[in-house]
A and B are shown apart, each in its own frame.
Chain A
Amino acid sequence: MAHSEAGGVMTVEVQRYRPDVDDTPRLVSYEVPWTQDTSVLDALNYIKDELDSSITFRWSCRMAICGSCGFMLNGEPKLGCEQFLRTYAPGPLRIEPLANHAVERDLVVDLEPFMTKLAAVEPYLHPDPTGTPEPGNLQTPEQMTRYGQFAACINCMLCYAACPQVGLATDFLGPAAITAAVRYNKDSRDFGNAQRLPLLDQEDGLWPCTFVGACSTACPKGVDPAAAIQQAKFAATMDWATEFVMPHHGAPGAKDGGHA
């Protein structure tokens, strides 16, 4: 394999799967020229432009903010745009679709289960039911700090590919969806905690998490989903314990634990 400090040619193995022809995926090798600034996404685009136009993969922004180009690189979930071929020199580099996901074609996985889980936690501000917020719905920097880290999620699903519990218990709500719920629960402008808690505090909610911690290592934005899930477990446990002391949060006649 020709390579040097400045670059060379690397063997890139890409998992291919054609739903109309193949029964199982297979690895196909391509020879890709690279320099110091060739990203994995650049390599895939080179393959598509120069070697095989039928190769299929998602990408958009090239700058680690759209969350489209998540792949397994040598078995680890990474964003293709953020990783460089030089890291994997002299090669070979193996590119596979995100683990724990159904593969639609080549490197494209089915997003539908994740989208359903994400929408289920109602990841948007629920306004105060008792009144209208002040104009601008302001909050202080301190209030923003409470959830700021968890707001950096770009829904790239690398954490779902990293988490063995997602693979073993496919109905598990999963790291990013739970983190989104925690992000809004910690927001001073949000009043949706009571709606989200029943979804989190159930068998397929946050409890399949066994704190492997792989989601936080995989996260390209430093969100630390594992921390969010453990904090949500703590909050759910406190809510459960509070029920003994103050049933229905002290609301007389309220059903479903006061989740009106």
Chain B
Amino acid sequence: MTGAPTSSPTGPRPEDTRPAPARTLDVGRLAQADRVARRREEGTGAGDGTVSQRNPYRPTMKRTWFLATKEYRAYFLREGAAVVVGLFVLNLMLGMVSIAAGLDSWTWWVDLQRNPFVLVLNVLALAAAVLHTVSWDQLTPSIIKVQRGTRFLADGWIIAQQVLLLVIFAAVMVAWLGGAWS
């Protein structure tokens, strides 16, 4: 065993000039509490000064903290996926600008979509969108609470409602783009 302290102070500390604590009443302890409270107000912190030898160790987070646990990795995947979606949106906006700029630039943008990097970006963006959809559905039941008496509606119902809304929205969009109202 190597952990035994070798130089911890055991005798009375030279700087300790407090009067002996009262033995019969708790007056001494209250006075001590007052001193601690006063130090806190002065910003020197409870336990600092002559009462103890505080020397707290302040750990720092590693630069690679987001790899430490499964949850952190999942969280960073969610956050990182937003970058891919952002690049996809930039590409889409470029397409809109090129339509406005005329046929030549539009042809250029359509050709650009055959670029392997853009193809990979599109595939990654699809994966990111699926990830965000799934994690959104997983997390929503934590926020949307529907109370029925002394119970809450089961998570499955909240997720089902989300999926139902998505299906309705997608169906309306497909019908609209397909010219159902034209």
Chain A interface (Cβ within 8 Å of chain B)? 14, 16-22, 24-25, 28, 30, 51-52, 54-55, 75-76, 99-104, 110, 112, 141-142, 144-146, 164, 167-168, 210-214, 216-217, 224, 226-227, 230-231, 234
Contacts and interface: CB of A to CB of B under 8 A. Distances in A.
B133 to A, nearest CB: 16
A164 B65 contact: yes
Contacts of B4: 52, 54
Contact of B9 (A20, A142, A226): A20
Interface string B147-179: 101111000000000000000000000000000
Contacts of A102: 56-59
A20 B55 contact: yes
Nearest to A24: B57
Contact of A214 (B53, B55, B72, B139): B72
B54 interface: yes
A231 B61 contact: no
B1 A30 contact: yes
B2 interface: yes
B45 to A, nearest CB: 8
Nearest to A233: B143
B145 interface: yes
A25 B57 CA distance: 8
B6 A21 contact: yes
A226 B142 contact: yes
A19 B54 contact: yes
B85 interface: no
Interface string B49-71: 00001111111010001101101
B81 interface: no
A230 B143 contact: yes
Contact of A231 (B57, B59, B143, B147): B143
Interface of B: 1-9, 45-46, 53-59, 61, 65-66, 68-69, 71-72, 75, 79, 139, 142-143, 145, 147, 149-152
A142 B56 contact: no
A76 B53 CA distance: 30
A104 B150 contact: no
A101 to B, nearest CB: 8
Q: Which 3 A-B pairs have the closest CB atoms?
A: A19-B55, A227-B142, A102-B56
Contact of B142 (A30, A55, A141, A230): A230
A22 to B, nearest CB: 8
Nearest to B152: A145
A142 B147 CA distance: 8
Given A28-B1, A112-B46, A103 B9 contact: no
A51 B4 CA distance: 10
A17 B57 CA distance: 8
Given A28-B1, A104-B54, A142 B149 contact: yes
A166 B104 CA distance: 53
A75 B70 CA distance: 12
A15 B142 CA distance: 36
B142 A54 contact: no
Contact of A145 (B66, B139, B150): B150
B143 A234 contact: yes
Nearest to B68: A75
Contacts of A100: 59, 61
